[in-house]
Amino acid sequence: MKRLIVFYSYSNNTRGIAKEIQDKYNYDCVEIKTKEAYSEDYNLVLQSEEKLVPMDYQPDIEDINIDLNLYDEIILCTPVWWYSVASPVNTFLHTYILKDKTIIPVATNGGWLGRTFENIEKLTGCKIKNSISLKFDENRLVSTYEFEDWLNNLEESD
């Protein structure tokens, strides 16, 4: 079973989680990047995305330049934006064919997971397993024990 980490990160919280997974298991890893950078003003992005996320917004993203057919499972790391996946992840899910893959969703958030995992399953039609919601408070992971336990048992979840 071959796994790929796919992630998007606005504030580096999700990037840090993806990096920890990669460091532990040496999985291939690819970052979703928007063609046009988001503002560095968090509040401005927050206000904009509040309107755009419910409208199924899909910003242009760069090609990930990786053959997804080489992987059985995708560890999809996404921030939660307005109770769903971040818009760049939404674009990824609409752009790439993930049929016949298993998705392991990792959601970083401020405590409002919403329908993130259900939306991933709905958009991909893939089997979802071993999902984890990681709450951050001011860029600090609230439950490091929960993440470490999940991380240590990731390969046992096959």
Structural domain total, the chain: 1
Q: Rounded mean pLDDT of the chain?
A: 94
pLDDT tens for residues 17-27? 999 999 999 99
**Among 82, 21, 74, 20, which Cα is nearest to 48's?**
82
List the domain range (segments joined by +) for residue 124.
3-157
Instruction: For residue range 51-85, list pLDDT tens digits in order.
Output: 999 999 999 999 999 999 999 999 999 999 999 99
User: Residue 157: pLDDT above 90?
Assistant: no
**Is pLDDT larger for residue 79 or for residue 155?**
79
Kindly report, residue by residue over 44-55, the tens digit of the pLDDT. Answer: 999 999 999 999
Burial per residue of 54-70, b for 16 or more beta-carbon CB atoms within 10 angstroms, e otherwise: eeeebeebeebeeeeee
Instruction: Please say if the pLDDT value at position 153 is more than 60.
Output: yes
The pLDDT of 87-102, averaged and rounded, is: 95
d(CA 24, CA 115): 29
Tell me the average pLDDT across 23-33. Answer: 97
pLDDT at 29: 98
Backbone angles phi, psi at 60, to 5 degrees: -65, 135
Q: Would you call 146 exposed, middle or buried from its count of C-beta atoms within 10 A (0-12, 13-18, 19+)?
A: middle
Query: If DSSP codes are grouped into helix, strand and coil, which group holds residue 138?
Result: coil
Sorted by sequence, the CB contacts under 8 Å of residue 117 that are 6+ apart come out as 105, 107, 128, 131
Total residues belonging to the chain: 158
b/e 15-36 (16+ beta carbons within 10 angstroms → b): bbbbbebeeeeebebbbbebee
Task: Work out the average pLDDT over 29-44.
Answer: 96
Amino acid at 103: I
CATH number, domain with residue 16 = 3.40.50.360
